[in-house]
Amino acid sequence: MKFDQYYISEDIKKNLAQLGFVRPTDIQFKAIPSILNGEDVLAIAQTGTGKTAAFAIPVIDKIHRFKSSKRSYGIKCIVLAPTRELAVQIGEVFESIARHTRVKTFTLHGGVEQDRQIARLQDGIDVLIATPGRMFDLINQQVIRLEGVSTLVLDEADHMLDLGFIEDIRYIKKMLVRAHQTLFFSATINDEIRKLAYSQVKSAAIRIQVSPKDRISKNVSHFVMFVEQDDKRIFLSRFLADHPDDKVIVFVRTRVRAERVQKAMEKAGIASASIHGDKDQGERSIAMQAFRDNTCRILIATDVSARGIDVPDVQFVINYDLPEKAENYVHRVGRTGRGENKGEAISFCSSEEKPLLEAVEAFITKPVEVITVSKKGYSEVIREHDRSAMDLKALVAEHDAWMSKGSGKKKGKRR
């Protein structure tokens, strides 16, 4: 079945055609009819399978049909996302699908000044895509009113609930005075989070799971290299130097390590951008835009910052640090091999990280192929790096000596 055969607005069909959406993906095919029918939905599907459009298309269509003009009568749908970057990305999908319809969308997040956001909200919107923190600030200021909300969506629902937003979600649902529809979408979910999610939907909720036996896309090839912790920066710089034209996301465990890895790459003459929680929104936006438009081809990120990010043509995901939670591996490697594209995920595993690798393999129910590096080959990479570092130090020393000599001459002339 093609989108032009769906019982949705012609304006939306035109937008989908312009976006290159011809046939629905599995998650879209299964979720859209249930959402159009007003049913609660809890959907689990791999990353890169079109989950955002699966709820954006029916939500926009329902609001468009309800309205007779572009005038807004209050927020009808709230979409909650765990990070600013993901909220912006969801907002872009909604905006592109809602173009030329009567639906007005707006993305709200922290890290930017409130006044413009307040003015935009007061101008009237239908769909609010938001991060919880800033949304609750404006609810408490009585800028955001929820009495007209008929649909609540949680994207990356497992992460939202895992981060402890369950009380906030319960609070929001208590404030929704109208009968409302609840939609949970995620790539992974464990038993504990599943129970929390089920507690927030109707008992008759539709439960959709696409490819439950295969948690990772078949478009991604998986490899692991056994590299000691202190040598990882050397092997990363070697890999990046060997792939100068490829787009790469490097995942690290902490914000501090993100900064250290970026500085190490800078010393190796490799430009990169980084995103993590200690950066302000302006810095994060600049880094993401540089990565999207290929101004910078290497992005160093923590798990939270890069969750759900959809950037075209990422060829490689490097797990510089293996994730402490095995399910985060699925979200990380899902940044490549999206849609019809192929991608590779390469993990650097130190001796102390072997239990984490075992946990990942148990979670994805398959072994990760080992890239074998002989002792001689491993040592040669280290020696080559050390030689390059020594040559660079010699050049710097020679330059400093030359500058010092030149400076001395100038001083002599002044005397």
pLDDT in tens, the chain (415 residues): 889 888 899 999 999 999 989 999 999 999 999 999 999 999 988 777 889 999 999 999 999 998 878 888 889 999 998 888 889 899 999 999 999 899 999 999 887 888 989 999 988 999 999 988 889 999 999 999 898 999 999 988 777 777 677 888 888 888 888 889 999 998 777 777 788 787 888 878 898 888 655 667 788 999 999 999 999 999 999 999 999 999 999 999 998 999 999 999 998 889 999 988 788 778 888 888 899 888 999 999 998 766 667 788 899 999 999 999 888 898 899 889 887 789 999 999 999 999 999 999 998 888 999 998 888 888 888 878 766 654 544 444 555 555 566 655 444 444 3
Kindly state the helix (H) or strand (E) to which residue 333 belongs, with its residue range: helix 326-333
* Fold classified for 3-209: Rossmann fold (3.40.50)
At residue 414, the pLDDT reads 41
What are the contacts of 35-38 at 24+ separation with CB within 8 A?
35/59, 35/181, 35/183, 36/7, 36/8, 36/61, 36/62, 38/181
- Tens of pLDDT, residue by residue over 203-257, are 788 988 886 556 677 889 999 999 999 999 999 999 999 999 999 999 999 989 9
At residue 214, the pLDDT reads 63
Closest of 76, 80, 129, 81 to residue 107, by C-alpha:
129
Has domain 220-377 been given CATH number 3.40.190.10? Answer: no
Do the Cβ atoms of 225 and 373 come closer than 8 Å? yes
CA distance 335 to 317: 7
- Token readout for 134 is 């800033």
CA distance 372 to 351: 15
CA distance 327 to 397: 48
CA distance 386 to 357: 29
- Tens of pLDDT, residue by residue over 113-155, are 889 899 999 889 999 999 888 899 999 999 998 989 999 999 8
Do the Cβ atoms of 247 and 313 come closer than 8 Å? yes
CA distance between the termini of the chain: 87
Q: Domain extents for the chain?
A: 3-209, 220-377
At residue 133, the pLDDT reads 86
- The reply to whether domains 3-209 and 220-377 share a CATH topology is yes
- SS3 assignment, position 212: coil
- Is pTM beyond 0.75 here? no
Sheet-wide strand order for 343-349:
273-275, 298-301, 248-251, 316-319, 343-349, 220-226, 369-370
At residue 225, the pLDDT reads 92
Classify residue 244 as exposed, middle or buried by CB count within 10 Å of its CB (0-12, 13-18, 19+). Answer: exposed
CA distance 310 to 312: 7
At residue 405, the pLDDT reads 61
CA distance 95 to 100: 10
At residue 355, the pLDDT reads 95
Contacts of 271 (CB under 8 A, 6+ apart): 265, 296, 298
Closest of 131, 161, 128, 155 to residue 41, by C-alpha:
155
